[in-house]
Chain A
Amino acid sequence: MSREAILKKFEPSLDNILYILHELQDNNTQHYISKEDLKACAEYLNLPYSYVHGVATFYTMFSLKPRGQHIIRLCDSPPCHLMGSASLLDYLKKKLNIEIGETTTDSVFTLELSSCLGVCGVAPAMMINDEMFGNLTPEKVDAILEERRKSR
């Protein structure tokens, strides 16, 4: 969908800003909100660019940097921490050879931390794009990443 078509879906009123930003990001193949997106949103809502930038950077689900095809969001809240998410984070960093917030050189994976995903019964857990994974172990992570790499 084109940027204009997305904007047109919504009334140009301030309370639609999160909806618009969500859609712009979801429609971007690199899963982020570009400068052009922010500009278009600001013009459409008749707001200063800085305002839209301010809103977009406040919420953790929005990224202003291009991201990989698969966004890994490892839950780092206390329940997952208790069940071993810290060692999984080290494992993921080492395996993907990236730090938190970075994307692999082949643009396949981006590693992020997430606050509670609400699936604490299967801690430690992570989300890749829209899908949840729980009861994670290094072996399970290996299998999931392998499958994702193939499915690209």
Chain B
Amino acid sequence: MNMVRSHVLISIDAGTIMAGARAVEEALVKEIASQGLAEEIAVLETGSIGITGRGVVVVVYPEGIYYAGVTPNDVPELVEEHLLKGRPLKRLMLAEAPKRYVIKREKTGLLKEQPRVVLRNSGIINPESIDEYIAAQGYEAIAKALTSMTPEEVISEVKSSGLSGRGGASFPTGLKWEFARKAPDPEKYIICNADEGEPGTFKDRLILEGDPHKLIEGMLIAGYAVGAQKGFVYIRGEYTLSTERMEKAITEAKAYGLLGAHILDSDFSFDIFIMKGAGAYVCGEETALIESLEGRRGHPRNKPPYPVTEGLWGKPTIVNNVETLANIPEIIKNGATWFKAYGTEKCPGTKVYTILGHVATPGLIETEMGTTLRDIIYEYGGGIKEGKKFKGALVGGAAGAFLGPDMLDVQMDFVNLKEYAAVLGSGAILVMNEDASIVEMLKSVLHFFKHESCGHCVPCRLGTAQLVEIVDRLAAHEGKKEDLDKLLKISKVMRDTSFCPLGQSLYLPISSALKYFKDEILSHVKQAAS
């Protein structure tokens, strides 16, 4: 094998492609060759490094220096200064050495470590190479499961790890698997829910783009544990790069005998198919997703029966979120005890968050369950942009809750937030500074739900329309005094009577906005002419 002295990693994900990453990559390869360095310096593609909104991101190893906002015009200088003369180019270096990008191997005393379970390989390996995944201990977990564990042992390991669904509902994963395992029908399915549509959430996209083999391995283990023969990845229609990378990963895994018949010479056979969505938020709900996979309008089904007993084509089916499945190989490889060292007692493990809005460094982080909102915003998100004040955050996506400043020090995990009538949801944290308008935000949230309501049940179809009417009135400063009560009342009826979680979830953003920002909303009520 050719030894190289430096690796130049370039992040190729939807965000950096937008900023021109392909052109920078081309320029790098060309410039390195023309300087005669092609033998000693390798340019490698990788998934997202977790930095968003900073243009093209390049990392040079072994130094571990991050460059952001790189353009093809910068490349000659970058190559000459850093790679030829060994002087890092200060002009393009990421000024605030970002704590969130520090992984254990690069531990440098001062910087806070970011515990990586799910994103272990993301932004480090080339997602389009199965060899790199294998070199990073990939497919060890499925090998371990197939050769030294019974399906029941796999399930019991996942159960004792305490892993719960990362799509937002937080249902215990091991328990779900056990239900499906015990269902008598011999034909079973595994579905990976990659129909990521919760506003402000793009963690699953970065896992799909950055480490697709990890997902395949997670699905394989799930398939072995519950006794399924087929798996489906339902990917959002808009996620073009995710679909391409996943297709490529499946093809490679097949060629290596890691998908198909008799995997690793065992009796276990498993295949994975990709399904492309077509734009419907409600299809993130598991039974609506199953309907869509079967070729119907994505209307949710009556529950029970739950998919674990009657799912896809009436067969026992597991529907797991991308992030949930990405945890599985690490749990099987390292054991439940190792996993439980992360996070809180009731909610072990890590959570991938997307930090957005008025923060200095928006992006993706993975941190332990139980980290406070303050740490997430100020330690990882770099604080509020332009030194402004924190006003509030919408946590958990559009179906989440608004949190005011007095919630900054609350430990964030699925169990604890519930006590404060809030949710962790998908892990989206939309931060608002002092200038943001709560009514405008609420308006955006309610319009979103009105648009995405599938029309199947009356409370949601009519409720969303009425809520939009009221919030539009408030936004125009034409509100009536009784509007605040009406918002609460309608959304409460929707919470109690809607058919699926879509209609049920509007009560949370509305009630939390009224709890923390009532005065501001009241100021939108039209004053009676005196």
Known contacts A122-B53, A130-B240, A134-B18; is-contact A59 B357 (Cβ 8 Å): no
Residue from the list A18, A79, A81, A117 in contact with B292, Cβ < 8 A: A18
Residue from the list A13, A15, A55, A118 in contact with B239, Cβ < 8 A: A118
- In this complex, what residue of A is CB-closest to B275? A18
- In this complex, what residue of B is CB-closest to A62? B278
Q: Is the CB of A81 within 8 A of B441?
A: yes
Q: Is the CB of B430 closer than 8 A to any CB of chain A?
A: yes
* 0/1 interface trace, chain B 392-430, chain A, CB 8 Å (1 if under): 001000100000000000000000000000000000101
A52 CB → nearest B CB, Å? 10
Residue from the list B53, B196, B198, B292 in contact with A121, Cβ < 8 A: B53
Q: Is the CB of A37 closer than 8 A to any CB of chain B?
A: no
Give Cα A62 to B280, complex, Å: 11
- In this complex, what residue of B is CB-closest to A57? B297
B240 contacts across to A, CB distance below 8 A: 130
Q: Is the CB of B454 within 8 A of A58?
A: yes
* 0/1 interface trace, chain B 285-302, chain A, CB 8 Å (1 if under): 000000011111110000
- In this complex, what residue of B is CB-closest to A20? B295
Q: Is the CB of A77 within 8 A of B202?
A: no
Q: Is the CB of B14 within 8 A of A82?
A: no
A63 CB → nearest B CB, Å? 11
Q: Is the CB of A119 within 8 A of B448?
A: no
Could you tell me how many residues of chain A have their Cβ less than 8 Å away from some Cβ of chain B?
Answer: 42
- In this complex, what residue of B is CB-closest to A56? B278
Q: Is the CB of A143 closer than 8 A to any CB of chain B?
A: no
- In this complex, what residue of B is CB-closest to A51? B296
B440 contacts across to A, CB distance below 8 A: 81-82, 86
A107 contacts across to B, CB distance below 8 A: none
* 0/1 interface trace, chain B 7-19, chain A, CB 8 Å (1 if under): 0000000110111
Q: Is the CB of B524 closer than 8 A to any CB of chain A?
A: no
* 0/1 interface trace, chain B 185-204, chain A, CB 8 Å (1 if under): 00000000000111111100
A14 contacts across to B, CB distance below 8 A: 294-296
Q: Is the CB of A46 closer than 8 A to any CB of chain B?
A: no
Give Cα A119 to B354, complex, Å: 10
Give Cα A5 to B354, complex, Å: 42
Q: Is the interface of A mostly helix, strand, loop or mixed?
A: mixed
Q: Is the CB of A92 closer than 8 A to any CB of chain B?
A: no
Q: Is the CB of B326 closer than 8 A to any CB of chain A?
A: no
Range class of the B interface residue count: 35 or more
Q: Is the CB of A55 within 8 A of B297?
A: yes
Q: Is the CB of A72 closer than 8 A to any CB of chain B?
A: no
Q: Is the CB of B52 within 8 A of A78?
A: no
Give Cα A59 to B362, complex, Å: 30
A59 CB → nearest B CB, Å? 3
B436 contacts across to A, CB distance below 8 A: 82
A61 contacts across to B, CB distance below 8 A: 237-238, 277-279
Q: Is the CB of B198 within 8 A of A133?
A: no
Give Cα A13 to B358, complex, Å: 48
A31 CB → nearest B CB, Å? 14
Residue from the list B19, B358, B441, B451 in contact with A78, Cβ < 8 A: B441
Give Cα A131 to B364, complex, Å: 21
Q: Is the CB of B357 within 8 A of A82?
A: yes
Q: Is the CB of B205 closer than 8 A to any CB of chain A?
A: yes
Question: Which residues of B from 290 to 340 have beta carbons under 8 Å from A?
Answer: 292-298
A98 CB → nearest B CB, Å? 19
Known contacts A58-B297, A122-B52; is-contact A18 B199 (Cβ 8 Å): no
Q: Is the CB of B363 closer than 8 A to any CB of chain A?
A: yes
Q: Is the CB of B201 within 8 A of A116?
A: yes
Q: Is the CB of B295 within 8 A of A17?
A: yes
Q: Is the CB of A96 closer than 8 A to any CB of chain B?
A: no
Q: Is the CB of B18 within 8 A of A132?
A: yes
Question: Which residues of B from 417 to 473 have beta carbons under 8 Å from A?
Answer: 428, 430, 432, 436, 440-441, 444-445, 447-448, 451-452, 454
Q: Is the CB of A120 closer than 8 A to any CB of chain B?
A: yes
Q: Is the CB of B196 within 8 A of A118?
A: yes
Q: Is the CB of B276 closer than 8 A to any CB of chain A?
A: yes
A54 contacts across to B, CB distance below 8 A: 297
Known contacts A18-B292, A115-B448; is-contact A78 B15 (Cβ 8 Å): no
Q: Is the CB of A21 closer than 8 A to any CB of chain B?
A: yes
Q: Is the CB of A97 closer than 8 A to any CB of chain B?
A: no
Q: Is the CB of A121 within 8 A of B18?
A: no
Known contacts A22-B278, A116-B199; is-contact A82 B358 (Cβ 8 Å): yes
CB-defined A-B contacts under 8 Å, sample of 8: A16-B295, A17-B295, A59-B237, A59-B280, A76-B444, A77-B398, A82-B357, A115-B281
Residues of B within 8 A of A (CB): 14-15, 17-19, 52-53, 196-202, 205, 236-240, 275-281, 292-298, 354, 356-358, 362-364, 394, 398, 428, 430, 432, 436, 440-441, 444-445, 447-448, 451-452, 454
